[in-house]
Amino acid sequence: MRPVQLLAIAFGSAVFALLVGAMSMGAFTQQPAEVIAQAWTVAAIIAGIVFIVVLLFVAMLLLVVDPADVTKTIDRPILLPDDEDDAGKR
């Protein structure tokens, strides 16, 4: 996964969190201006937190995967033991 794709996933999640936070706080209702401004402020803080959390979480998950394992083809059943010796022990 390229860094741009990682940033795009985090940005998309942050935009979704921004919209959900703004709607749940009443940013699109007929209320006083200070209530709407507070709703957008809280929604922006939520979006920033979501951006950072998703970015770190997906980056940590990508560190677990070995790039050589992604392109390697598997010609045997995955759930069976690696050697025949291991099969006799069970």
Q: What is the mean pLDDT of each run of 10 residues along the chain (90 residues)?
A: 93 98 94 95 98 97 85 80 62
Question: What was the pLDDT predicted at 80?
Answer: 78
Which residue type sits at 16? F
**3-state helix/strand/coil string of the chain:** CCHHHHHHHHHHHHHHHHHHHHHHHCCCCCCCHHHHHHHHHHHHHHHHHHHHHHHHHHHHHHHHCCHHHHHCCCCCCCCCCCCHHHHHHC
- What is the predicted pLDDT for the residue at 61? 93
> What is the model's pTM?
0.74
